[in-house]
Chain A
Amino acid sequence: MSALFWVFLAGTAAVTFPLVLHLIRRTPRGRQQFSSLMFLKASPPRLTRRSRLDNLLLLLLRALAIVLLALAFTRPYWRTAADISIFDAPARRVAILVDTSASMRRGDLWKQAVARVNEVLDELEPADSAALFTFSDRMSQVVGFDERSELEGEQLRELIRGEMARQGPGWSDTDLGAALTTVADSLDVANDLEQTGDTLQIIVVSDMQRGADLDALQAYEWPDTVRVTVRRVELDDASNARVTLLARDASASQDMPTTEAASDEPRVRVTNSSDSSVEQFRVWWSDGGGDVSEDDAVAFYVPPGESRVLAVPRPEGKLDVDRLVLRGDAAVFDNEYYTAPLKQRVVRVVGIGADAAGDAEGLRLYLEEALESTPLRQVQFTWSKPGESLAILQGEQPELIVVTDAISGEQREQLTAYQAGGGVILAVLRTPETVASLGELIGDAEVEDAQSDDAAATGDSTADRRVYAMLAEIDFTHPLFAPLAGARYNDFTRIHFWKHRRVQLSADKSTNVVARFDDGSPAVWERIGEKGKTIVFASGWHPADSELALSTKFVPLLDAVLKQCGDKGLETTTCLVNQPLALPELLDDPTSNEKGEGERDSAPSKEDGQRVVIRPDGGEVKIASDARTFTAVDPGVYTLKSGPAEHAFAVNLAARESVTEPLALESLEQLGVRLGVQPSQSAEADRLRQLRDTELEDRQKIWKWLIVAALGVLGIETCLAGWRARSTSQASGEAS
């Protein structure tokens, strides 16, 4: 005999209540009017015990009726022999997905995560299978479902525990969407293939930060059979702030043709999370060695949920500071922002021309003034007369050679060799003779008309001033003019060219005209050699030729020329963790070809040792000669050594990893993720058992018979009570 709802058996207790009350309680009999109760206090009813029970049989019949009713409510049934075993229910397949992003470095989150994984493992039942995955910006499988065939039950759990102990949080950002879709797909596909009928469950152990990327879920149709539950780890104090150096160069270069100087005050943004409990922060520059005093710190007041931008000047005379340090925030994982340290670069410029130093009518004075040294650049000028042998080219190659006058044949040969070696020549066609003397260096050029030069020779300067040329058809996509492409700076009509050489250029792939005069003749062009190049100006910048030297465009233009020469270094000096950084090509290495490769899997080869990346901790990573990218897994300042040249680059955390406010689980549901817990095998077995019991009870319907019995008992009780009452009244009538 069994029952569906044993709890209704408690209804039999109702038998005792009237009995106990009858025996014990004596209710007040009378009611007394009284003028005022202000002097009275309530006194509890006195308890008395009346031991006499009359009509015991009636009492028993009534109690029996109540018991029968209570039994009927329990819905009893006769159990059949066949029982449902736990193995009739489907087992669970549980994928544990552990967050190893940088935000898990906060406080004791990782310890909590390990504890949560252990809890999950403890809750598993013997038939359940489990796998362990970790995810940050990419997902990796630590223990897969395949190992289930060899390991069962406790062994599998121990394996997962051991593997979990070896894991730790990295420095990457969180791509929760991709991780969920990948694991859901693998679970669904594996279940379809194996046809086991298991219930599929993903358990995410994460801090569920709002900065997690959920884009992958946008276009993903979540499988019906997979349920996700989240075991969130969280800190009591969720404060977090992030410091970021605003990239002035990147944003400004479009509009503002200035070069970065050490004197520029870098602007720094501090972002405070909305659930933060602190508001006061300090930011200062550091070189990592503690040499920089904290006295230079800038105080930031950032209310929770807001951000502030302030200028944080670099310390005086210190170009090697490479990181911004934020203090006041307990979550330290994003409290340092790295940037490549500034370095003064030595640029050697060789000039070939007859101008005397300080001659205001010549080209030399303006060139030297425009390319003056700055904290980030030291320019060394060496001048040779036309016709002199360029002995300086014997040693280390200069970055730029400027030709302002006609050169000798020997010099032309030397320059040709220099250009073939990758050198850059800036040729200024001051006179028609210069064009002729440069020959092939400036392309297949022919002076078309020397009329304006003749006018100059006659000294008719007033006639000159009425006839001038302007620049037109400027190619602002070319690096020379790109800094001046902004709408505020691209007006060249105020620069008058009194004289210029009208040159006829033959169509040639190696000759690229960057700007023309308004009469259609080339004004600026470049002749690209195999490695080096020659940039040609068809007019000089000195007052006799033009107003170029006096215009604001002159310095940026020469800066752009200077950027064309020398070692190009890295295209960008800042990248994110796990983001490939493009490496400069090895010019000297004829065997280089194009293959992407990273830090971890760079195979040693003959060319190893040519390029080395020095990690922030001092370790060296050799870069394969054919590698074109480098991927860093830790934040910090790295140095790429390529021959004698050294280039520093900074690796930082992704900004969204600092968005540590908790993510609402509803947003997952909105993206189609099915949240919920799959029942365990035993719970499922219980459910099946309950279903079968309900069915049995529904067939037997014993409760109806119990109700009938209760009604019968009540009928007997009524008859008995009536008979007793009649006999009592008769007896009292006879007595009277």
Chain B
Amino acid sequence: MSASPLTTAASTTAPAAAPAAQSPRPSGSASWISPETLMRLKNLEMRAKVVVEGFMSGMHRSPYHGFSVEFTEYRQYSPGDDLRYLDWKLFARSDRYYIKRFEDETNLRCFLLVDMSRSMGYGTLGYDKAEYAKTCAATLAYFLAAQRDGVGLLTFDENIADFLPARYRPGHLHRLMMCLERTLSGKSTDLTRPLERIAALLSKRGLVVLISDLLAPIDALQKNLGYLRTQGHEVVLLRVLDPSEVDFTFRDPAMFHDIESGRNLYVDPESVREGYLRRFGEHAEQIRQTCLGLGIDYYQLTTDQPLEMSLFDFLNARMRRGRQAGRRRASNPAAGPGGGR
């Protein structure tokens, strides 16, 4: 395939915590299936399969290369160590015995936190944000299940709706899809409780993917995300927004109805657009700064973007994590004379 997504230069929405070395996000979605088309598939599992397989077929390299057995450090040999791990080449160079140490190979535990509040029921493209978020979550789940990683699910509004622990076993993915297909029921968005719950439930380190529109005050967000981070979890934030929320493209004055609170407000879009965009931008910037400060990968997705983009963002974050971990190990003074891989 000539037009690889990984080699496309332009990026529509730059990820918040994107370092300079990050791979550019592909812009052209001509080769990928459009969200509108995808949403016509009623079966969520089918949608996920379409996205993941199309994504896989377009890749030159395995996106999860290096996830498995990874070298971590050298340690001086001491009698009793297993000779299988002795680095003979290093012994040849330095005339000293060193033991190569490797990371334990474990399955990834990934938790998908999906916002099911009423505000997610908003959409102007024929489908709403919730539908998009569900497909996104299903895609990630399908992808991880294909890698034999454990996937868990937690859907929430102002309360916690469904919870599935992270497992890899036959039928688990199907149950997860069934949970995701349930309709919206909640009212407002409360991020505090799901995050607290997840923090309480996850004993081993894992990956937490939060999919929400984040249309809520972010005061408590920082605290709870920070708590997750201090427990050692990796957190990825996928913010799903409708294009009209980002650009506020309304023209005629109308009575705006808040589908979460039921509040009505008479709004003349022309007179309030500027203020809306400014406040919306400030809110987004606050979220971005919060994530940046906590080392969380933050991506903003609009519902008109292909679903593969979310998968790309997810994998991108994972790869960057892998590289950062590698750099940390390289700069560790206990790493020995090899100085890295």
- A residues whose Cβ falls under 8 Å from a Cβ of B: 28-46
B272 CB contact (under 8 Å) in A31, A32, A38, A43: A43
A434 to chain B, nearest CB (A): 119
Determine the residue in chain A with the shortest Cβ distance to B213: A35
Offer 28 A-B interface pairs, CB within 8 angstroms, sorted by A. Answer: A29-B253, A30-B252, A30-B253, A30-B254, A31-B255, A32-B255, A32-B257, A34-B256, A34-B259, A35-B129, A35-B258, A36-B119, A36-B258, A36-B260, A37-B256, A37-B263, A37-B265, A38-B217, A39-B280, A40-B256, A40-B267, A40-B272, A41-B265, A41-B275, A44-B266, A45-B253, A45-B266, A45-B268
- B residues whose Cβ falls under 8 Å from a Cβ of A: 119-120, 122, 129, 213, 215-217, 242, 245, 250, 252-261, 263, 265-268, 271-272, 275-276, 279-280, 283
A571 to chain B, nearest CB (A): 92
- 11 new A-B pairs (CB below 8 Å) besides A32-B267, A39-B275? A28-B254, A29-B253, A30-B254, A34-B122, A34-B257, A34-B258, A35-B260, A37-B261, A37-B265, A38-B216, A42-B266
Which residues on A sit within 8 Å (CB–CB) of B216? 38
Which residues on B sit within 8 Å (CB–CB) of A35? 119-120, 122, 129, 213, 215, 242, 245, 258-260
What is the CA–CA distance of A258 and B253 in the complex, to the nearest angstrom?
Answer: 104
Query: Across the interface, do B256 and A32 meet the contact criterion of CB distance under 8 Å?
Result: yes
What is the CA–CA distance of A42 and B253 in the complex, to the nearest angstrom?
Answer: 11
Which residues on B sit within 8 Å (CB–CB) of A37? 256, 258, 261, 263, 265
Determine the residue in chain A with the shortest Cβ distance to B188: A36
Which residues on B sit within 8 Å (CB–CB) of A38? 215-217
A353 to chain B, nearest CB (A): 115
With A38-B215, A41-B272, A43-B272 already in contact, the answer to whether A30 and B267 are too (CB < 8 A) is no
A517 to chain B, nearest CB (A): 110
A24 to chain B, nearest CB (A): 15
Which residues on B sit within 8 Å (CB–CB) of A41? 265, 272, 275
Which residues on B sit within 8 Å (CB–CB) of A46? 253, 268
A339 to chain B, nearest CB (A): 80
What is the CA–CA distance of A40 and B278 in the complex, to the nearest angstrom?
Answer: 10
Determine the residue in chain B with the shortest Cβ distance to A31: B255
What is the CA–CA distance of A149 and B271 in the complex, to the nearest angstrom?
Answer: 82
Of B213, B245, B253, B263, most buried by chain A (CB within 10 Å of CB) is: B253
A206 to chain B, nearest CB (A): 62
Which residues on A sit within 8 Å (CB–CB) of B272? 40-41, 43
Which residues on B sit within 8 Å (CB–CB) of A43? 253, 266-268, 271-272
What is the CA–CA distance of A42 and B266 in the complex, to the nearest angstrom?
Answer: 6
What is the CA–CA distance of A40 and B275 in the complex, to the nearest angstrom?
Answer: 8
Determine the residue in chain B with the shortest Cβ distance to A26: B253
A690 to chain B, nearest CB (A): 50
What is the CA–CA distance of A31 and B257 in the complex, to the nearest angstrom?
Answer: 7
What is the CA–CA distance of A499 and B283 in the complex, to the nearest angstrom?
Answer: 124
Query: Across the interface, do B253 and A28 meet the contact criterion of CB distance under 8 Å?
Result: yes
A39 CB contact (under 8 Å) in B122, B257, B259, B283: B283
List 9 tightest A-B contacts by C-beta distance, closest first. Answer: A35-B122, A30-B254, A32-B254, A35-B119, A36-B215, A39-B279, A43-B268, A37-B258, A43-B271
What is the CA–CA distance of A45 and B119 in the complex, to the nearest angstrom?
Answer: 26
Determine the residue in chain A with the shortest Cβ distance to B121: A35
Query: Across the interface, do A31 and B254 meet the contact criterion of CB distance under 8 Å?
Result: yes
Which residues on B sit within 8 Å (CB–CB) of A42? 265-267
B127 to chain A, nearest CB (A): 14
Determine the residue in chain A with the shortest Cβ distance to B258: A37
A614 to chain B, nearest CB (A): 91
Which residues on A sit within 8 Å (CB–CB) of B265? 37, 40-42
What is the CA–CA distance of A37 and B253 in the complex, to the nearest angstrom?
Answer: 15
Which residues on A sit within 8 Å (CB–CB) of B258? 34-37
What is the CA–CA distance of A40 and B283 in the complex, to the nearest angstrom?
Answer: 13
What is the CA–CA distance of A427 and B119 in the complex, to the nearest angstrom?
Answer: 124
Which residues on A sit within 8 Å (CB–CB) of B254? 28-32
Query: Across the interface, do A33 and B268 meet the contact criterion of CB distance under 8 Å?
Result: no
What is the CA–CA distance of A29 and B252 in the complex, to the nearest angstrom?
Answer: 9
What is the CA–CA distance of A43 and B256 in the complex, to the nearest angstrom?
Answer: 11
A31 to chain B, nearest CB (A): 5
Determine the residue in chain A with the shortest Cβ distance to B257: A33
Which residues on B sit within 8 Å (CB–CB) of A36? 119, 215, 258, 260
What is the CA–CA distance of A35 and B265 in the complex, to the nearest angstrom?
Answer: 13
Query: Across the interface, do A32 and B250 meet the contact criterion of CB distance under 8 Å?
Result: yes
Of B213, B245, B256, B272, most buried by chain A (CB within 10 Å of CB) is: B256
Which residues on A sit within 8 Å (CB–CB) of B245? 35
What is the CA–CA distance of A40 and B267 in the complex, to the nearest angstrom?
Answer: 8
A165 to chain B, nearest CB (A): 70
Which residues on A sit within 8 Å (CB–CB) of B250? 32
Which residues on B sit within 8 Å (CB–CB) of A31? 254-255, 257
B125 to chain A, nearest CB (A): 13
A595 to chain B, nearest CB (A): 97
What is the CA–CA distance of A45 and B263 in the complex, to the nearest angstrom?
Answer: 17
What is the CA–CA distance of A324 and B258 in the complex, to the nearest angstrom?
Answer: 82
Determine the residue in chain A with the shortest Cβ distance to B245: A35
Which residues on A sit within 8 Å (CB–CB) of B259? 33-35
Of A32, A36, A37, most buried by chain B (CB within 10 Å of CB) is: A36
What is the CA–CA distance of A41 and B245 in the complex, to the nearest angstrom?
Answer: 15
A662 to chain B, nearest CB (A): 55
What is the CA–CA distance of A38 and B245 in the complex, to the nearest angstrom?
Answer: 12
What is the CA–CA distance of A44 and B268 in the complex, to the nearest angstrom?
Answer: 8
Determine the residue in chain A with the shortest Cβ distance to B280: A39
Determine the residue in chain A with the shortest Cβ distance to B268: A43
Which residues on B sit within 8 Å (CB–CB) of A45? 253, 266, 268
